[in-house]
Structures are given as structure tokens and as C-alpha cells.
Structure 1
Amino acid sequence: MPDKLSLPLDDLLNGLRAAGEATRVRLLALLRQSELTVKDATTILGQSQPRISRHLKLLTEAGLVQRFPEGSWVYYRLADNAQGGLVEALLSRLDEDDAIVARDRERLDAIKHAQAEVAAAYFRAHAEVWDSLRAFHIAEDAVESAMREALGEEHFSSMLDMGTGTGRVLELFADLYDSGLGVDTSHDMLRVARANIERAGMQAAQVRHGDIYSLPVTGQRFDVVTFHQVLHYLEDAPGALVEAARVLKPGGRLLVVDFAPHKLEFLRTDHAHRRLGFSHEQMAGWLGAAGLELVSVRDLPPPAERPDEAGDPLTVTLWLAREPGTSSHSQVAAEPAKEVA
């Protein structure tokens, strides 16, 4: 692996010039801890929006910082490249107890606390719906345990969670990947996910606004891609699977978790479900059309004891597929597809 700090002379000089200013050093120190918007930075540093925007523009042009537009907002974070490694090296010499740096850190913590409170309020506002839906299928901890079993405990480099919602899947597998990315179209859910990532201290994870039919991941490939209770909301579930397959590394794995066919029409009318579950045959056909090999299928039936008002129960199904190239996981993925009740 190339040294993360190795840079051509011109890039090194440009990076040093860009970082060589007090406000920009403070910005880099903050971005080392968390993603920021311009609004966050202006609040913390007490400077005007045009001034902060100019500093961030210079840092971005020098390759030290990356920007991710999300609707009318733009999130900034340290670059994950050699220039980012340069920033890490420079900031490692910064005194964390410096009065200015410590005050910036306190203001950042205050902002994050306020955002966490907003996220908690959002959860409370939707808790009634989520709790009522859980009565129809197996407990979520059992689903998560099955997801861990499906992917195994072997470490992998990169993960993409499609329709990440609250970022729970990124948290579930945080001990297995080097970098995790969640993509979602909902700004509200992304704010919740960011608060959860911050709370859990998941420095290797990030979330990004984007269309899962046209992913904002130019040039990136992933070892694992997941869909957790997402496909039933989509108009074009097969199209989403094709896009997921496109960004898998050779031998990479795709895990889909969703409902088996059911008759709960109210989920369509009241909760925006576009499809009432998926059969084994239907999903196998879609995965094959996306160029993937089906590895295993597992059904998780609802518990025997459930509230009477639950009506028709929901079975949760896990489909594991792989890109038919070779990788360190090929010896696992090469097993023929199997169904587990």
C-alpha cells in the first residue's frame, strides 16, 4: 500500500500554503473531529459566512477537504487521501489544550449536543409508527443477528448501506469494515444518522445524500452493499439492485433484507410501501439479471406469540448474493445457494 503521506512536491507545497493560516488550521482541527456545514463553522468560529466559505473553498481546492452537497446544505470533511494524511500529520503537532482550540472544541460539542436533541425528538415523533410495525414481524435484534451470520465475522475494507435511514446498519457492522458509507434521500433521516454516528464514535462511517438509482460514489467500489427494509419502498427495485451490483468489487457481496410476500394492504396505503414483499423466485431473478450469483436465502418467520391485532404476520427474508469475480471472500461465496427456514 502506498504511504498515505506521499505527495508530489507541488501538491505538498499547495497543501502547506492552504493550511498555513490561523482560521484554516482551526477549521481543519474541527473537521478532524466531525463533518461540518458552513453554518456550523460560522457558529463555532464566530466569523462571517463569506469568510468561512472562502477558507473552505481554498482548503477544498488544495485537496485537504472534501465537500458533499446535500440539498441547500454542503457538508465538509477531511479528505481521505494523501492530502488528508498531510493534515493528520500537521494536526498531530497541535496542542489540544491550546485555549482557542479547546474553545472551538467546546462549541462543536454544544452544536452536536443540540443536533442530538433534535434527532431524539424526531425519533419520539415517529416511535408510535415504528413500534406498531414491529408487532408484525420478528424482533429486530433477531434480524440483526441473522445479518451478522450471513456476512460472517471476517474483516472487510468497505461497506455501502443503501437507504441508510438512521444509520443502524452502519453501526451494526462498524467493527468489521475500514470505511462505511450510508446513502439516503431523506434529509431528516440523514440528520438522525449523523447524530447516531457521532454518538457511537464511528469515525470510519459517514452518510451522504444521494439517489440510490444513481449513486454519488464515482470511482468507488465496495466489498459489501446492504439493503435493509428499503426495496419495498421503491418504484424500481430491480433498478436499485443493478446500481448496487455496479459498485460491488469483484467477489463483493450484496445482502438484501426485506419482507416475504404478504397481504397487509394498509402498509401500502398508510406507510408508502410500494410492494407487499418479495418471493424467493422474484428476488433470484432480479439478482441474476443484475449479474449477481445468489448464495443463500433465509426466512425469519414471526414469533408464534404476537398481538391479536397484528393480523397477517410478516416474514423477514435475507438474500445474500455475490459479484461473480474473485476476492478474499470467494471461498465462502462460492457455495451453492441454499434456503434456510
Structure 2
Amino acid sequence: MVLSYFKALSDETRLRLVHILLHYELSVNELVRILNMGQSRISRHLKILSEAGLLTSRRDGLWVFYCAAPSGEAREFLRAVLPFIQADSVMSADLRTAAHTVEERARSTRQFFNAIAEDWDELNREVLGGFDLPAAVCAAVPQACGVAVDLGCGTGAVLERLLPRARTLIGVDGSARMLDMCRRRFAPADLANENRLSLRIGELDHLPLRDQEADFVCINLVLHHLSDPVEVLREVRRILAPGGRLFVADFLRHDDEAMRSRYGDRWLGFDEEQLIGGLRRAGFSLLSCTRQPVGRGLSLLLLISGCAGEAPTLAQGDLQ
């Protein structure tokens, strides 16, 4: 096995690919742009590295994403040889270009949501059909909730319903235009009192909240827009107080490619175990998981989680 690892790395281009993919998960097209090589050449090198076990890939609709092996013998091998891979000027430039690519994803997402803010509520109704998502979120809020947070709050449909259920309400979104629309839902007195309602612009992987500030957090139809959902869930874990609760609503895996262009989706939903596994890696324990059919032939996964180490209280019919 070790010989196959060394053989797979015995090429400068493959070394560059591994070096990049140790830091980022990227699609084939993104790697083509970063290395400025033809797609057939990049695909051939990716195949060799994957067959050796040094890379893993995931298919999401028509897209394929690659990253370095996350665990096991291959990861240990990469960790051992990494100090001997000299990050020369070419490899350093690769990482700068890759970082710019990831930043451009986030910038494009912000621009997309700024552009469609006026139509967002109608688009949501198209996807959700007759399902009342704000009601499902409200049902998950603990009694006597101090601080409730809606991440990716959009135009504020969920925030508006949460207002009577928490002492302090915080909404976070990366789109300034979405937050402008959100403000229209609330009375001037609520907006003037940050101890009652605080709307904050910010990226979800660097949340503008203090450690353990929140008693309840919801993140609805947001994870499928993100490059690294687990990184964001780790940030949520940071801001959640002991005994707090997290509510996640997101799509079950589907093959509707139109969701990418119409709604700006990056992931075509998630497998149930994939999403539950991401929550666990971020430090959460699952309390409940249900499926909910919605519009366009899609289904939602509705999950409630607590901080890892808390005794789960599963309801009948929840995941065992």
C-alpha cells in the first residue's frame, strides 16, 4: 500500500493537487482553473490519486468534488510526508488561488441573495408548498428561552414568528439587502432595542456572536448553500450555551439541478446520515430527526440537536 502512495505522488502535478486538496475541497472545474491545465489532464491525475486512496470524492448532481483522504492510513501517510513537501513558489501560488476561489464562491452567493431579496419570500413558498416551517421552528424553542438566533435569517419570516418566544432575538445574514427586507417586518421600537432584537451582517463561519451567547439556534435551508457546512456547525457549537438547542432544516438529497441556478444551491441536499454525521463531528448529539415532504417533489430533514454529552430524549418515531 505504501508503495502505491509513493508511486501516486511521483509526479509534480499530483503533488500540487494533494497539497491544494489537503486545505480545500474543490470541484474538477475549480482545480482546472487553479492549475491552468486541461480538464482531461487534471481528471487523469485525480483518478490516479483516488485509486491509490489518497483522495476522496463526492458526487453532487452533475458536480464532483475532491479532497484529501480525511482519515485512516492514507491520511496518516499524508501527515507524515507533508513536512517533506516543500511549498515552493508554485505551490504557494496554488494555495492563494484556491483561497481566492473559495472567497469568490462566498462573494457570488452574497451577490445572488442581494439580487433576489425582493423575490425570496415567493421563492420560499414555491419550495415549501403548504409546510409552515416557522411553526416547526417555534415548536422546537425551549420554554423561557433567553437568546434565540436565526442564522441565514433572510427576510425574517422565521424571526418574526420567534419574537414572542425569546427575551432576545438575533438574526444573522451575509446579505445586506436581505437584512434591509427583514427590518421591514418589525416595529421601530423593537429595532431600536438591541436587547430585544439585533440584526447583524456577517459570515456564518465567523459568527458575530460571543461564545455561548445563544440558548436556541436555528439554521433553515442554509447549509446547502455553504462550501463547508461542518465548519459552520462548529461555529454554531461555539455560540451555543450548555443545555442549548439547535434546530436544522435542510433538503434531503435530490437531483433537481435547477435548484442551483434558481436558488443558488451548492449542495443538492444531504443524505440523512451525512447530515447527522456532520452534526456529530461539530460536537452535537442528535435528539430528533423527521422527514417532511414539501414542494417541487422535495423533502426536508428537520433535526433537533443538543451539545454532545447531554442525555438524548428521543421521541417515538425519531431516529434510533
- Does the pair score TM above 0.5? yes
CA separation of 1:318 and 1:265: change in aligned 2, threshold 3 A: same
Equivalent residue, structure 2, for 1:208: 200
Q: TM-score, normalised by structure 2?
A: 0.57
Q: The residue matched to 2:210 in structure 1 has which SS?
A: coil
Equivalent residue, structure 2, for 1:134: 125
Q: Is the 8 A contact 1:296 1:338 kept in 2?
A: no
Q: Is the 8 A contact 1:162 1:226 kept in 2?
A: yes
Q: Is the 8 A contact 2:117 2:155 kept in 1?
A: no
Counting only pairs closer than 5 Å after superposition, residues 49-198 of structure 1 correspond to structure 2 as 126-127=118-119, 130-131=121-122, 134-140=125-131, 142-151=132-141, 154-198=143-187
Counting only pairs closer than 5 Å after superposition, residues 237-276 of structure 1 correspond to structure 2 as 237-276=229-268
C-alpha distance in 2 between matches for 1:132 and 1:335: 35
State the AA in 2 paired with 1:245.
R
The sequence identity of aligned pairs, in percent, is: 32
CA separation of 1:225 and 1:124: change in aligned 2, threshold 3 A: closer
State the AA in 1 paired with 2:210.
T
C-alpha distance in 1 between matches for 2:316 and 2:237: 21
Q: Aligned to 2:304, which of 320, 323, 328?
A: 320
Q: Is the 8 A contact 2:225 2:267 kept in 1?
A: yes
Q: The residue matched to 2:280 in structure 1 has which SS?
A: helix
Q: Is the 8 A contact 1:251 1:324 kept in 2?
A: no
Counting only pairs closer than 5 Å after superposition, residues 37-48 of structure 1 correspond to structure 2 as none
Deviation (angstroms), 1:269: 2.9
State the AA in 2 paired with 1:250.
P
Equivalent residue, structure 2, for 1:285: 277
State the AA in 1 paired with 2:135.
S
Runs (5+) with no aligned partner, structure 1: 1-121, 304-309, 327-332
Q: Aligned to 1:294, which of 261, 286, 292?
A: 286
Q: Aligned to 2:227, which of 230, 235, 238?
A: 235
State the AA in 2 paired with 1:298.
T
Deviation (angstroms), 1:221: 1.6
Q: Is the 8 A contact 2:214 2:244 kept in 1?
A: yes
Q: The residue matched to 2:163 in structure 1 has which SS?
A: coil
- RMSD between aligned residues: 2.8
Runs (5+) with no aligned partner, structure 2: 1-113
Q: How many residues align?
A: 203
